[in-house]
Amino acid sequence: MKKLFFMAAIAMFSSSGLLAQKIEFYTPGIVRVTRDNGEDATKNVSLVVTATPENVAVVMNTENGKTVYTTDQLTVSVENGKVSFSDAKGNLLMTEGEYAFTPRHTGPDRNSYKVKQTFSVEPHEAIYGIGMLQNGKLNQRGEQRRMEQSNIDDYAHFYQSIKGYGVYWDNYSPTFISVPENGKAGELVLESEVGDIIDYYFIYGGDADGVIAGMRHLSGKVPMAPLWTYGFHQSRERYATQYELLEVVDKYRDLKIPYDCIVQDWEYWGNPFLWNAMEFLADGYPEPQKMIDHVHDQNAHISISVWQSFGVGTKPYRELAAKGHLLDFETFPPSGLSGWPPRDDYPSGSRVYDAYSAEARDIYWKNLSRLHRMGIDCWWMDSTDPDFYNEQDRDLDVPTALGSLRSVRNAYPLVAVEGVYNHQRDVDSTKRAFIFTRSYFAGQQRTGANTWSGDVASTWDAMRKQIPVCLNFTLTANPNVHSDISGFLAYDYNTNGWASAKDNPQFRELYVRWMQLGAFMTMMRSHGTGAPREIYLYGKEGEPIYDALVDAVKLRYRFLPYIYSHAWQVSKNDDSFMRALFMDFKDDKKTWDINDEFMFGRNVLVCPVGNALYTPEEIDRSGNFVEVNWNASKTYDVYLPAGTRWYDFWTNESIDGGQTIAADAPISHSPIYVREGSIIPFGPDVQYANENNYDNLEIVVYPGKDAEFLLYEDEGNNYNYEKGRYSPHIPRRLAPKITTKQIRGLLSRFIIFTCIQFHIMSIFCPTFCPTIIFSPVI
């Protein structure tokens, strides 16, 4: 019997009459499945999912004990209690396997269960996402691990398949995941340590972009980051005084090295007992307001490190302790004395605050707001994992405002980051909240926070891993990710005395190649310890290393109109910045596992040099630096995806796709290609992101196929774009005619830009060039 009706949910009852299974259609392609143990269990409001079920047109058919629910995108079948999913053409996507509720008998969760669900995976079905995994793999087949947030590995409890579907597992406790080996059919296992119900969302999108859009529909869209955040950020561990910091600020401007942000790392507060005081209490910062004002006078911004733990001598600690909002486990810093290793006989007493409590988040912001009022532009929210010191299993039994820490463990970064983001939005509409942080969970994209990949080593292996780290992170529906340029830990390169790493050719080569990679991450930030990272300490103008570092930064600024326009596509249309090759070239199966290249936006193929070409990759510890000829010619193998032609960004040579080539890879640049049918707007040479806005653009057309590009601009650092105050324009390929002209009197929805002029300085057209017309989007 078939029946057409509109529904948001179907409740299926077990023979005992108690609710055993429930299916909810959130959209025609998104289905929530919950299952309890026959005890009519309920669940608190989701920390991640913000959407509510829509009224969806569904055809239901019941026959021979099998019930089938069909929408215009998806068929959901239920037989013998197991759910399977097929697309509109009848192609099977996924089937549930076994499930289990294992009672917990000890601890605060002894009345709950361990919950387990398995899902079918075909032999050659590529699996992506999961989180930020430092395993070097793009395709996560064969991966097994316990998912608990940490310094360099973070998890979203979300994966997606090459078949065009994704699964979000709505449980916040540490969770075991097992993905079958490639080439073998099997079951993907998800087993969480605490849960009253099994609760997951099946998202069908047809392709990776559709899955990402579905997950953002469920858990929140991505807001626009400020324009300046796409510029260069200079950091180190650490600037110990305001004078050190301002010296860098002024030196960069004097040398005309572009940058937009200087980053103040930890201990500006003083000794470990004052940990994260959110005040400038150290002797080296006698006039912090003057420091901040001077940074702004130099047309720059300042970011500052804030943690989730507090020292016993701080105001936040006392306030939080009085309200019972500190979590009772050892954290960083473990010792009240500076230095490493820590002295266990001088415990610091520092504690992580309970970010699961709304009252605690209010107290956190109350103290942070002092820095906000001083003009701090960006919050570096460190240790949002959060940090444990000598973690014990019993630490997960400490109580929080939402239950045991174990039951909500992996959602800590979400509630901590969202607490700061929401509070700033509530009090300041003139300045976009911007956060970068060390950990994340599903849904965190709605804060716009940029997650960095933790304190990774300064090695070639670590650098290579950052590409699949960022790509899989992106495939969990969060587009904002980056790594410390050069890696964090560079001590091993001090082979010729302390602080010699900056002169070590092996570290210099690594730094250059990582900088060239970082120019195409969503945040370009140089940071680390063991060696200073300021570019001017790596030579001078005319020297290969210095020039290569500066050129990478300048290239980033040339791409800013492209980047910021793409940021609008990310926010408005659920696009992604760093795109695994299969997202755009799925028909080319070679792209399914490529972990060392990526698309930056829809048009630019980035091929970072991931091996040492000029120096040995293994660190020479002889005490003598290796001899290097930086002018030697080098090549690096890159794969050009099939289905299109490619233009070498540096030479304009046109090359067929579907082949591996030996690309030129001098120290000055890494291989970059642009796909045919692209229009790229380039900005002028500037010292900071909004120096010239879009006064003088170079529009480069890469012909071969029809092309379209939406050029976007707004006021850059407020929320007026949410009220329609922005100006998108489309340069469009229409006909094979050559036109080079200045375009005046451009119509605009954004009154400030009604008189803007786009000057086409040059148009690259090796064969023919189309007419270019700019028109407003109404």
Q: CA–CA separation, 213 vs 528, rounded Å? A: 34
Which has more confidence, 253 or 771?
253
pTM value surpassing 0.75? yes
pLDDT grade for 18, boundaries at 50, 70 and 90:
very low
For residue range 93-112, list pLDDT tens digits in order.
Answer: 999 999 999 999 999 999 99
**In the predicted model, is pLDDT for residue 15 greater than 50?**
no
Give ranges for CATH 2.60.40.1180 in the chain. 687-776
Task: Give the pair of three-digit tokens for residue 415.
Answer: 């509630």
- What is the CATH code for 687-776? 2.60.40.1180
* Residue 757 clears pLDDT 50, i.e. is over it: no
- Which pLDDT belongs to residue 708? 85
Q: Is the dihedral of CA 136, 137, 142, 147 positive or negative?
A: positive
Torsion sign (Cα): 280, 285, 288, 294: negative
Average pLDDT for residues 147-166, to the nearest whole number?
98
> Which CATH superfamily is 2-219 part of?
glycosyl hydrolase (family 31) (2.60.40.1760)
Q: What is the mean pLDDT of the chain?
A: 92
The CA distance from 693 to 499, in Å, is: 39
SS (H, E, C) 112-155: CEEEEEEEEECCCCCEEEEEECCCCCCCCCCCEEEECCCCCCEE
Average pLDDT for 681-696: 90
pLDDT, residue 730, reads 57
Structure confidence at residue 511 (pLDDT): 99
Q: Is the pLDDT of residue 187 over 60?
A: yes
CB atoms within 10 A of CB 612: 15
Q: What is the pLDDT of residues 313-342, one digit of tens each?
A: 999 999 999 999 999 999 999 999 888 888
pLDDT in tens, 457-477: 999 999 999 999 999 999 999
In the chain, CATH 2.60.40.1760 covers: 2-219
d(CA 755, CA 333): 55
On the CB side of 68, how many CA atoms lie within 13 Å of its CA? 13
Could you give the CA distance from residue 146 to residue 406 in angstroms, rounded to a whole number? Answer: 13
Residues 507-547 have pLDDT tens digits of 999 999 999 999 999 999 999 999 999 999 999 999 999 99
Average pLDDT over residues 647-670: 98
pLDDT in tens, 360-396: 999 999 999 999 999 999 999 999 999 999 999 999 9
Query: What is the β-pairing status of strands 301-306 and 378-381?
Result: parallel
Percent of residues, the chain, with pLDDT higher than 90: 85
Q: Model confidence over 619-636: pLDDT tens digits?
A: 999 989 999 999 999 999
What does the block give as tokens for 655?
């090359």
Checking phi first, is residue 500 left (phi over 0); if not, alpha (psi -120 to 50) or beta? alpha
Average of per-residue pLDDT across 605-630: 97
Question: In this predicted structure, which of 60-74, 569-583, 686-700 has the lowest mean pLDDT?
Answer: 686-700
pLDDT, mean of residues 390-415 = 98
Full DSSP string of 420-461? HHHHHHHH-SSS---EEES---TTGGGGTPEEE--S-BSSHH
pLDDT of residue 696: 82
Q: What is the mean pLDDT of residues 50-62?
A: 96
The pLDDT value recorded for residue 7 is: 60
